[in-house]
Amino acid sequence: MPIDPIALNTLSTMAQPPSNPTLTPAQRRDIIADNLQEFMTTLPRDNRWDGVEVTELTIPGPHRPIPIRLFRPVGERPQLPSVLYFFGGAFWMRSYETEDMLSICRQLAVEGDSVIVEIDYALAPEYPYPAALHEGMSVLRWMAESGSEYGIDATRLAVGGLSAGGAIAAGVALMDRDGGAPLVRLQILEVPGIDLALSVVADPPADFSTSDLDSFLEFQHFYLPEGVPSDDPYVSPADTPSVVGLPPALILTAEIDVVRPAAEAYADRLRLAGVICVSVVFGGQVHFAPQLASVSPSSRAWRAMVTEAVRGLHRDPGNPL
């Protein structure tokens, strides 16, 4: 299927990442975040998602204090389901403050009637693996142990994320299972980059461009310390020896995206192991599709599927899908 024309036309206006080799990763990160924020301001903004209370907190972490942002629907409500949400950015870029992530969190809080906990997780190369996963686990435990003060129901917790954030969410779900007292009831993996070892697809994938491969090798180098194999299950959840006992999963991918084959294969493994899994490939869509709901009907359908999964935690926390 050809690329969605709305996505093609919209994304053509986004600035390209800086290519100056003298810039540090931190400098490049800031430029990319500024460019993304400028791009998002050109898109329509939906005021319906403003009906949230936003709370900024910092909680103790294993490497440093962890900033988090809570989005909760306004008004008196009982304890609500909660989603720990990880932004994307190849493990080293940051979109914690950009409008695409803020809009996703606001929309999901309002329409999903839930508390969304956005985590400003530690980024490579300053904090390589496993810092982000350990911080995710710290916040998950905080949600279970202390979240009730902020309206979080510890019996209805989910993890989710975009791209690299989806990979971290999948890794946290694995760590949570392996800890023996799982807290996560649902995992929401959107365009997840869960195959850093390139073990599921060709090495390199046939549809990788030279720039794709360069970017992949760069963030792999940033993220993985010396001696950590790229097929470590918490690095590449696609390579985990067993998916038995994982929570139900919603896995959404874009047809025109190099991470799609590995995500589809992971969904198949989950189903074969008896894990409830709903997976959908959005035809004609691209990696940035989840963030284009303000202009794309296809992206709005994408976000509606995520919302419905979260609302499932209201109906049946044991089987939200």
Can you give the CATH number for the domain in which 310 is found? 3.40.50.1820
> What is the rounded CA–CA span in Å between residue 235 and residue 163?
13
> Does position 235 have pLDDT exceeding 70, yes or no?
yes
Q: Is residue 221 part of a domain?
A: yes
> What is the rounded CA–CA span in Å between residue 165 and residue 118?
11
pLDDT reported for residue 50? 87
Mean pLDDT of 53-69: 96
Q: Is residue 18 part of a domain?
A: no
Number of Cβ within 10 Å of residue 281's Cβ equals 16
Handedness of CA 67, 29, 124, 199 (dihedral sign): positive
Q: Which residue has the tokens 């989950």?
A: 270
Is the Cβ–Cβ distance between 82 and 147 less than 8 Å? yes
Strand order in the sheet with 184-190: 52-59, 66-73, 115-119, 80-86, 152-162, 184-190, 249-256, 277-286
Q: Is residue 215 part of a domain?
A: yes
> Does position 20 have pLDDT exceeding 90, yes or no?
no
> Does position 65 have pLDDT exceeding 70, yes or no?
yes
Number of domains in the chain: 1
Answer with the residue of higher pLDDT: 225 or 170.
Answer: 170
Q: Is residue 17 part of a domain?
A: no
- Report the mean per-residue pLDDT for the chain: 93
Q: Is residue 236 part of a domain?
A: yes
Q: Is residue 21 part of a domain?
A: no
Q: 77 lies in which domain range?
A: 5-10+28-315
Q: Is residue 73 part of a domain?
A: yes
Q: Is residue 22 part of a domain?
A: no
> What is the rounded CA–CA span in Å between residue 74 and residue 79?
13
Q: Express as a percent the part of the chain with pLDDT over 70.
A: 96
pLDDT band with cut points at 50, 70 and 90 for residue 308: very high
